[in-house]
Amino acid sequence: MPRVVVDAPGGDVTCEEGDVVRARRHTSMMTEKIITVSELTLSVSSGDDSKPAVPAKQLPQYFAALSATLGALAFGGVLGWSTSGGDSGEKLAEQYNITMSTSDFSWIGSVTNLGSAAICIPMGLMMDAFGRKRSMLILVVPYTIGWSLVIWAKSVAMFCVGRFLLGFSGGGFCVAVAVYTAEIGEKTIRGRLGAFHELMLTSGILISYILGTLIPIYYLSMTFAAVPLIFFVVFSFMPESPTYYLMKNREEEARDSLLRVRGPKYDVERELITRKLVLAEELQYKGSFLAAMRSKVARNGLIIAYGLMFFQQMSGVNAIVFYTGSIFGQNGAISTDASTIIVGALQVVSTFTSLLIVDRLGRKILLLASISAMAVGMLALGTYYYLEENGVDVSSVNWIPLVSVCLFILMSSLGFGPIPFMMVGELFSPQIKGIAGSSACSFNWLMAFLVTRTFNDLVEAFGNYATFWMYSVICACGVLFVIFIVPETKGKSLEQIQRELGAKITVPIDVKP
């Protein structure tokens, strides 16, 4: 059978002619033809409009994604842990017999965000150098050291160092899991696999909230310290990303990896060929982050990714979660402990709902519904406090804070909670996904730190109502951003998304007898 040789910047890729294109033949000679990757992908994926004889199994893909997101479950415990310390750290100080100011406790809670921001870009480099799987397994080391420092802390400094390391590991998982699940999943369920990260994260927060009301913080720390070890054992048996193997020219291992997540009877050759062709052309973008910025498609992806991260955090979601106990406490209808559990449960339920519908309704419509409802929630909450602070009797509408916060949390977890991290794994080509995606995640955590550290200062300087109105205005700007900037990626291959972001890829095909 004739061979098809793809001449690309990264080197030739050779495969069987029938698996790629039907080359045009003249009666006396064969000609060289220039075709686009879109034509190649169409030919590889559909052939004569026929489906694969044996469809891919989805259960191995789900299991691999869930195994990877056990790291997110561990990080959820880290994020929910500080709530058990009390509003100003009094419980933590009492149980550990350490002198601690409100400012000290604020640093213990917020320094995690700095740790997460610090790892994101190095994590991208690690994934390209060592692989997605091995990089995630390495994160267990700082996880273990961080929890050890927290468990046996003797000072505020030990807490801060331990929490920084925990954020370091958790932030690394936010980067790696998005990339890993996008590269192992079929396009029909890729959104659902990506939503597993946020589901496990919110589940970890909820478990931490519940256990925090039942057991001392010391035992809560020991409980979550075991989760990374469980992840290490389970994920060790999962396959590496096939895309990573192809990046390293290890085609046989890529084939084995695809067979493990698609099923042993699935014909992986077509998918392998498509990935090889795109990777070969995208080698020209491999290099530094600044070099990637010169590509139109990379710049478009960065604008979308950074914008999604900005609106996710500057909507005030972390401030709302932090302030939930006080809001419900002022309402007088429910205790602080119960309110945090309610918020945690709402996050889990809403994220699970997003997981079920994201591949049916699409990313864009969920983002739009989410940010619109968040704007309304913040507007209502700010209006309530404005009336209250100006002497208006609000006793007949004291349910507004409860409903506003519940609406905000529900809709945030439905769209702007899970989808931005999910889309990071979809927006960038494999060759620049590590550095570009990780820089967006680093930006996210810096914004989270900014919001967490400035919330109380904003309330003190401008009042509750002005602060919540500011978040509402930011959410309203997010509505416009989603409408005019964010593309729909539902049901599209990673290569098709690249083309819609501006990639104009041509691959010379030389058909040889």
Assess whether pLDDT exceeds 60 at residue 25. no
What are the residue boundaries of the structural domains of the chain, listed by start? 59-269+310-500
354 vs 203, residue with greater confidence: 203
DSSP tally for the chain: helices H, then strands E: 24, 4
For residues 7 and 236, give the distance between their C-alpha atoms in angstroms, rounded to a whole number: 37
- Mean pLDDT along residues 332-344: 72
* C-beta neighbour count of 395 within 10 angstroms: 6
Rg from Cα positions in the chain: 25
Determine the straight-line distance between the first and last CA of the chain, rounded to whole angstroms.
8
Q: What is the mean pLDDT of residues 211-233?
A: 90
Mean pLDDT of the 134-145 span: 93
Q: Which pLDDT belongs to residue 72?
A: 87
Per-residue pLDDT of 240-278, as tens digits, reads: 888 888 888 888 888 888 888 787 777 778 778 877 876
Question: Regarding predicted confidence, which is higher, 159 or 324?
Answer: 159
Say what the pLDDT of residue 327 is: 61
For 392, residues 6+ apart whose C-beta sits below 8 A from its C-beta are: none
Predicted confidence at residue 51, as pLDDT, reads 54
The answer to whether 126 and 175 have CB atoms below 8 angstroms apart is no
Confidence of residue 335 (pLDDT cuts 50, 70, 90): low
The lowest-confidence range among 236-240, 290-294, 379-383, 498-502 is 290-294
How much is the pLDDT for 228? Answer: 92
Please state, for a pLDDT cut of 90, what percent of the chain lies above it.
Answer: 19
CA 390 to chain centre: 41
Whether the pLDDT of residue 16 is over 70: the answer is: no
The whole-angstrom separation of Cα 93 and Cα 247 is 50
Average pLDDT over residues 152-170: 91
Is 37 a residue whose pLDDT tops 50?
A: no
Mean pLDDT of 49-62: 66
Cα separation, 91 vs 429, in Å, equals 47
pLDDT, averaged across the chain: 77
Helix (H) or strand (E) holding 449: helix 430-462
Please tell me the predicted confidence (pLDDT) of residue 31: 37
Q: Is the pLDDT assigned to residue 223 strictly greater than 70?
A: yes
Q: Which two tokens stand for residue 193?
A: 């696999």
More confident residue, 447 or 263: 447
27-48 mean pLDDT: 40
pLDDT tens, position by position, 451-507: 877 887 788 888 888 999 999 999 999 999 999 998 887 767 666 777 777 766 544
**CB under 8 Å to 1, separation ≥6 — which residues?**
16, 17, 18
In the sheet where 33-36 sits, what is the strand order? 11-16, 3-8, 506-512, 33-36
Highest mean pLDDT among 64-68, 373-377, 411-415, 443-447: 373-377
Provide the percentage of residues in the chain whose pLDDT is more than 70: 77
Is pLDDT above 80 for 155?
Answer: yes
Q: Which CATH class is domain 59-269+310-500?
A: mainly alpha
In terms of Cβ atoms closer than 10 Å to its own Cβ (0-12, 13-18, 19+), residue 58 is middle
Q: Is the pLDDT of residue 88 over 90?
A: no
What pLDDT, in 10s, does the model give residues 297-333? 778 888 899 999 999 999 988 777 766 665 665 555 5
The two structure tokens encoding residue 11:
């080197």
Q: Determine the pLDDT at residue 142.
A: 93
Q: Check pLDDT > 50 for residue 14.
A: no
Section 391-419 average pLDDT: 84
- Of 306 and 363, the structure prediction assigns the larger pLDDT to 306
